[in-house]
Structure 1
Amino acid sequence: MKLYRFLSAPDDSSFCHKVTAALNKGWELYGSPTQTFDAASGIMRCGQAVVKDVEGKDYHPDIKLGEQ
């Protein structure tokens, strides 16, 4: 089964740490990173999609993707 997550955070080191943690858990980058201005909070936000193949599981909406 292939899992998909979209990681986002403010444009600071927290975003890099979030992506790095996912990569070290076996997730792979999917596509290019994104960046947008969040007018409500007045900050730039970054995003990156990641995917991971997991064997022996069936998809269910209750799966905690961050724990995979």
Structure 2
Amino acid sequence: MIAYRLLTLEDSSAFCHKVTEALSKGWTLYGSPTYAFDAEKGVMMCAQAVTKEVAGDYDPDKKLGQL
């Protein structure tokens, strides 16, 4: 099964660390990062999709960050 996650956070080094941590745990980048301005918060937001091949079937109760 291929698991999918969309990592999001404000545009900061914390976002880069979040993506780097996912990559270190075997996740693979999927597509390009996306940026959007959150007018309510007044900040730029980042998003990066990642995928990972995992054994077993889909389980909606499983936290994707634990795969």
Query: 1:24 maps to which residue?
Result: 24
Report the residue type matching 2:32 in the other structure: S
Deviation of 1:40 after TM superposition, in Å, equals 1.1
Taking the TM superposition and a 5 Å limit, the aligned residue runs for 1:1-68 are: 1-55=1-55, 57-68=56-67
Deviation of 1:25 after TM superposition, in Å, equals 0.2
Q: Classify the secondary structure of the residue corresponding to 2:15.
A: helix
After TM superposition, which residue ranges in structure 1, 4 or more long, deviate above 6 angstroms?
A: none
Unaligned runs of 5+ residues in structure 1 are none
Aligned residues: 67
Superposed CA offset, 1:18-41 (max 9, x none): 000000000000000000000110
TM-score, normalization by structure 2: 0.97
Q: Classify the secondary structure of the residue corresponding to 2:35.
A: strand
Superposed CA offset, 1:30-66 (max 9, x none): 00000000011000000000000002x1101111001
TM-score, normalization by structure 1: 0.95
